[in-house]
Structure 1
């Protein structure tokens, strides 16, 4: 079995777990270099990008733009439909599931070492959030 099949067969919530860390690290780097602020302000700014509500809105926006490939859409769908045993904090289940879908595709691209596509998606996420403000 090649690496692609192994990654595709991972639990979508495992992909989302990885994607959450990837997005968090990217956003932290982005805001640190952009703001050069104190940690509390950085944390407040980071929440604008990584909250479930923001991620769900970004997923909807990218879907409207037909941003994802068919393969990526399948990963998003699997992440969105996965049954999580954790309760969503400060949001409804549908929003939480959408954010899990976005995180799953991030985790997939990261674990697949698809660096160009991952970078493009991370930049699209940041741009989408900043566009909405």
Structure 2
């Protein structure tokens, strides 16, 4: 797939991929749909995405190319929601950019990083 997408398009795609990943994790658990929805919403918020990125960085798992994608996404992020933390929003946009790119270009690598996040936060 040869798509020339910018950081914000990749972030938009990465946000959807991350939400789908969280929904798939939750659908394996018993529970009411409203409770499962709340759990997913908690994981797709900017602060949760920023925390996921932080865990990957702290573990030293990201390549230079992946860190560059994060930087490009972070630099293109706007301020975010009025009441939100601008720094967390930027980190989340960087995370989403990387996830979107990996989804299109290297799904097996994306799977490795998502598996690490699941192992770190079961």
TM over 0.5: yes
1:124 to 97, 110, 116: 116
Matches of 2:63 and 2:44, distance apart in 1: 22
Asked if 1:25 is matched to 2:20, the reply is yes
Structure 2 unaligned segments of length 5 or more: list them: none
- Any stretches of 5+ residues in structure 1 without a counterpart? none
- Report how many aligned residue pairs link the two structures: 122
| TM-score w.r.t. length of structure 1 | 0.81
Cα shift at 1:89:
6.1
CA change 1:83–1:46 in 2 (3 A) is closer
- How much does 1:67 deviate? 1.1
Q: Give the aligned partner of residue 102 of structure 2.
A: 109
Query: Does 1:78 find its partner at 2:75?
Result: no
2:54 is matched with which residue: 55, 60, 83?
Answer: 60
Offset at residue 125 of structure 1 (A): 2.9
RMSD: 2.0
CA distance in 2, matches of 1:126, 1:47: 16
- Measure, in 1, the Cα distance between the counterparts of 2:72 and 2:9: 11
Structure 1 residues 90 and 29: alpha-carbon distance in aligned structure 2, compared to 1, 3 A threshold: farther
Measure the CA separation in 1 of the matches of 2:55 and 2:102: 19
Q: Measure, in 1, the Cα distance between the counterparts of 2:101 and 2:45.
A: 20
Structure 2 residue aligned with 1:91: 84
